[in-house]
Chains A and B, each alone.
Chain A
Amino acid sequence: MFDPLSRLAVQVGSDAAKVLAELEQAMAGAVGDTQADLADQDGHVGDAFTKLLGRLGPDGADDSYPELTSGPTLPAAGTSAPGDYGDVESFFWQKGEATVQAVSGGVGDIKGLVDGLTPTGDVTELVDASSFLVAPQAPDNPVSDLRWSAGALLGSIDWVAEKFVGFSILDRCVFHPFAGDWQGIFKNSEAWHHAGDAALGMTRNHAGLVASTPQTWQGLSGDSFRGAMTTIAAATYGLSAAYSYAGDLVKTLSTVTKLACVGIGSLLKMIADKLLKMAAEAATPLIGWAIGAFTAYSDIQDIIKWVRRVNTLIETISSAIQDFAEAKTSILTKYQIIEDLAQGAASSAAA
């Protein structure tokens, strides 16, 4: 039941990482193209100035173009992820505020973000976006714990249930529904937020490029550059929101699963105790079974009720997984915008 669903959750996380990588690649390509265009244009401008200044005398102009193909080295980014970002103890829901401050500076929209930045004239990264892309850690895996403890609790006494209900409670209530990559889900809950924070960092960096363009750079090329960077900033901002939304949903799934596993564990312990009691009473033929027969009916009713409760908890986890699966559509829309941008950048470069 959960195998395909948990796989879906992990798959969407993996897709998100791929799109982020494609986005980075597309932007790197776009920056490279822009740099090449700039070098080319600068060359023409340089030619014109050389000719113009050449009329003024031999010392008027340097005849070599500025070296732009390899480009100057960027200075260090203004901000990066907190030092303990991504640690088990620094879960996003505990330290999210510090992260948001570091990344967004309270950004409300792209225009607001650009207007709020102080033009420096230099090309710098406002945020080291890559610093947020740390490997996710899973502090614990309640499903794995449940599977292990359920086996220890019920494994040896499950035969009693098989005798009177005709199925293994362990198989139907634990092993079968909780198959799949749950560790991946718990790791994903962090990874979504890491990717969201990184995308938001890229938003600030692109907004920073707009803010840092000199007032003197007017005309078609300047406006195109600012327009393109603003568009990419808006797209990465949308993507970061989608990542964050996905992260919230996976976090909900994680929290619900953890609590549900505690409840299922308690129910399995009660079921195991009841099965043991029934097995012992079934071995007391003298007077014991007479007592047992008196309680067997209510014992079996209790077990049926508790198995139903386990199923209710499983269905609740399933609902949280379904929420996530349905949210995939909105995330994919944001992917589409990025993909369209990347495609647009590629086709305009080819033109």
Chain B
Amino acid sequence: MSSREEELLRRVEAVVAETQRDAARVAREDAALDQARASAARRGELGRDWQEVQARIDGGRTTLAAVFGGSDQSAAAVRLRDRSRATLQAMELPDDLADQVEALRGELP
């Protein structure tokens, strides 16, 4: 292996290692939030649509990805998607985050 190949591979491996650390952290953090949301949905605290969709998720008849990805065409899933779109549409990023997004756009090919 040439030294140039080693250098390029080291660069890639460093990114992969950082990503693995992030993956472990995010899995820990998000799993707790997912469970909290699912429990609230089962109890009906998030509304009837969430309760119905959660029951179908628990029964293996749909997934969260199908609901928000658009392949689940049930009425409850469609309403949840619409609500999600409307909320995200109305969402305004704080200035510093908006600046970061703008900088990112400029960096990408």
Contacts and interface: CB of A to CB of B under 8 A. Distances in A.
Nearest to A307: B104
Given A263-B19, A279-B88, A283-B87, A164 B12 contact: no
A263 B109 contact: no
Given A277-B30, A304-B100, A282 B16 contact: no
Nearest to A245: B2
Contacts of B50: 283-284
- Name the prevailing secondary structure of the B interface residues: helix
Interface residues of B, number: 53
Contacts of B11: 312, 316
Interface string A156-199: 11011001111100001100110000000000000000000000
A308 B106 CA distance: 11
B95 interface: no
Interface residues of A, number: 64
Interface string B46-87: 110010000000000000110111110000000011011101
B87 to A, nearest CB: 4
Given A286-B46, A288-B37, A156 B71 contact: yes
A323 B26 contact: no
A25 interface: no
Contacts of B105: 165-167
Contact of A309 (B8, B15, B40, B100): B15
Contact of B69 (A157, A173, A263, A286): A157
A270 B88 contact: no
A296 to B, nearest CB: 8
A273 interface: yes
A295 B33 contact: yes
A267 B87 contact: no
Contacts of A166: 101, 105
Given A256-B5, A270-B19, A297-B94, A285 B87 contact: yes
A274 B26 contact: yes
A279 B77 CA distance: 12
Given A164-B88, A283-B84, A277 B46 contact: no
B68 A308 contact: no
A71 B23 CA distance: 71
Interface in A241-296: 248, 251-252, 255-256, 259-260, 262-263, 266-267, 270, 273-274, 276-289, 291, 295-296
B40 A287 contact: yes
Contact of A287 (B46, B81, B108): B46
A306 B16 contact: no
Interface in B1-48: 2, 4-5, 8-9, 11-13, 15-16, 18-20, 22-23, 26, 29-30, 33-34, 36-37, 40, 45-47
B45 A256 contact: no
Given A273-B30, A316-B11, A163 B64 contact: no
Contacts of B13: 259
A1 to B, nearest CB: 4
A304 B100 CA distance: 8
17 contacts: A255-B9, A256-B8, A263-B12, A273-B26, A276-B68, A278-B88, A280-B84, A283-B68, A283-B83, A284-B50, A285-B47, A287-B46, A295-B29, A295-B33, A307-B104, A311-B109, A323-B4
Q: Which 5 A-B pairs have the closest CB atoms?
A: A156-B69, A282-B87, A1-B109, A283-B84, A279-B68
Interface of A: 1, 155-157, 159-160, 163-167, 172-173, 176-177, 248, 251-252, 255-256, 259-260, 262-263, 266-267, 270, 273-274, 276-289, 291, 295-297, 300-302, 304-309, 311-314, 316, 319-320, 323
Given A262-B16, A280-B37, A319-B8, 13 more contacts: A159-B85, A164-B101, A252-B4, A279-B81, A282-B91, A283-B80, A284-B46, A285-B47, A287-B45, A288-B40, A291-B37, A306-B19, A309-B15
